[in-house]
Structure 1
Amino acid sequence: MTQNQTLVDVVLPCLDEAGALPWVLARLPQGYRAIVVDNGSTDGSADIARSLGATVVHEQRRGFGAAAHAGLLAATAPIVAFCDADASMNPEDLPRVVDPVADGTRDLVLGRRRPTVAGSWPVHARIANTSLSWRLRRITGVTIHDLGPMRAASREKLLSLNLQDRRSGYPLEMFLRASEAGWRIHEVDVPYAPRVGRSKVTGTVRGTLTAIGDMSRLLREVRR
């Protein structure tokens, strides 16, 4: 792979992450291109990302799914990875989820968050995630313990899923549709550290409840 050849586009949904972006973007592996999707930041995140060489996409409709999907549509590399822009996950770990896709042994790889210190993952969010993962194992038969934000798959295959959720249910819809399509889904451990700044979802009970509501709706639709 030449220095300028892009193997992986990394979608980084972003809402006011000016404090974390320099650390995150400095750690992208060679051949990985950052697509920072600004979702209405007021702290200059987009300008910082652009100054550091990232491709910046603006998505006015608020919601994690809206930002993530805008990044997917902007991607051109054969593999697309997703990662939070808050420095809770180190982009240097992206090959853990990308390599099994690149070598053709897996279709979708999810990063199972492994907290590095106490407090990395709030208790209420961890409980909600454990419950969701248990339900997903029962419904799909796929061994999964975490519906985490770091993941990778083929761009063409992701587009073929025709994902519709534009809120917190986007990662779940991706997993469910991939399972229905018979994808080879795999989970690998990735370190998970305290984020920079306050989370818009798992850092608040209200955000967690909103995410649970979005995901519960999707699960009901699957079981109809």
Structure 2
Amino acid sequence: MTPSAPEDVDVVLPCLNEAEALPWVLDRIPPGWRALVVDNGSTDGSAELARGLGATVVHEPRRGFGAACHAGLSAATADIVCFCDCDASLDPAQLIPFVREVRYGGADLVLGRRRPQGRGAWPAHARAGNLALSLMLRRRTGVRLRDLGPLRAARREALLGLDLTDRRSGYPLQMVVRAADAGWRVTEYDVPYLPRSGASKVTGTWRGTWQAVRDMSRVLAEAPVVPAAAEALTHGGIRR
């Protein structure tokens, strides 16, 4: 059973053929929160299963992790939006302290630092790619993060104000880069990282990992963009 949690939270779950994992993931959504499953072209009945389990289903025909995440963000209506992979590698119940920190002004963007649990949870090539990107992020922005994992939380309007444009694997990194450029407070929490259900669409192979690194390297090469809407974060009418 998940602990109680504040309401008015949407959890974006990008989904491509995750029927095997969906029941576990949706069962772990904290009470009072809404699950937004973004179907990115599944052929295994994921969308129908998610709808039957009570999730709101958003369809995004354009393939790409960023395309699915942004479709979910665009469809969200809650004050705070979270993101979580839909493959049972991450427990959405772990988002409760993330939301608490954003809600009460401790941070503007909270990420999960993945701590692998068991063999095969995080392949060596995926860790190497993540480490390289973390170092490049530090050189580019000065933000010191040990992981660029997909479990995260922030305020919806502020995220939309970042004007994110990447629709591939660079989306999560672009979010952090533009948040840093806008002066956001970015923090991270340790979270258990479990062996995923099924094969990874991004980091399951060396080729997939380095394609993701290339996508993210392009993001790091962009000139700083600080949209006015993202620069002035307001929480309850008070600029922080």
TM-score by length of structure 2 reads 0.89
Deviation, 1:78, is 0.2
Which amino acid counterpart does residue 94 of structure 1 have in structure 2? L
Identity across matched positions, percent? 66
In structure 1, the partner of 2:119 is: 118
In structure 2, the partner of 1:88 is: 89
Which amino acid counterpart does residue 21 of structure 1 have in structure 2? L
In structure 2, the partner of 1:202 is: 203
Deviation, 1:173, is 0.6
In structure 2, the partner of 1:155 is: 156
Which amino acid counterpart does residue 107 of structure 2 have in structure 1? R
Which amino acid counterpart does residue 137 of structure 1 have in structure 2? R
In structure 1, the partner of 2:185 is: 184
Which amino acid counterpart does residue 32 of structure 1 have in structure 2? W
Alignment of 1:119-134 (within 5 A): 119-134=120-135
In structure 2, the partner of 1:14 is: 15
Question: Is the CA contact (8 Å cut-off) linking 1:97 and 1:150 kept in structure 2?
Answer: no
> For 2:7 and 2:20, how far apart are their aligned partners in 1?
26
> For 2:118 and 2:223, how far apart are their aligned partners in 1?
36
Deviation, 1:138, is 2.1
Alignment of 1:34-73 (within 5 A): 34-73=35-74
Residues 71-123 of structure 1 deviation map (CA, whole Å, 9 limit, x = unaligned): 00000000000000000001111113221101111100010100011220010
Deviation, 1:148, is 0.2
Pairs aligned (count): 221
> For 1:49 and 1:6, how far apart are their aligned partners in 2?
21
> For 2:180 and 2:49, how far apart are their aligned partners in 1?
37
Residues 19-43 of structure 1 deviation map (CA, whole Å, 9 limit, x = unaligned): 0000000111112110000000000
Residues 132-189 of structure 1 deviation map (CA, whole Å, 9 limit, x = unaligned): 1112122211120110000000000000001000000000110000000000110111
- 2:149 match: secondary structure: coil
Q: Where in structure 1 do 4 or more consecutive aligned residues deviate above 3 Å?
A: none
> For 2:217 and 2:139, how far apart are their aligned partners in 1?
15
Which amino acid counterpart does residue 93 of structure 2 have in structure 1? E
Question: Is the CA contact (8 Å cut-off) linking 1:37 and 1:67 kept in structure 2?
Answer: yes
In structure 2, the partner of 1:136 is: 137
Question: Is the CA contact (8 Å cut-off) linking 2:38 and 2:71 kept in structure 1?
Answer: yes
Which amino acid counterpart does residue 10 of structure 1 have in structure 2? V
In structure 2, the partner of 1:170 is: 171
> For 2:13 and 2:28, how far apart are their aligned partners in 1?
13
Deviation, 1:221, is 1.7
Deviation, 1:48, is 0.4
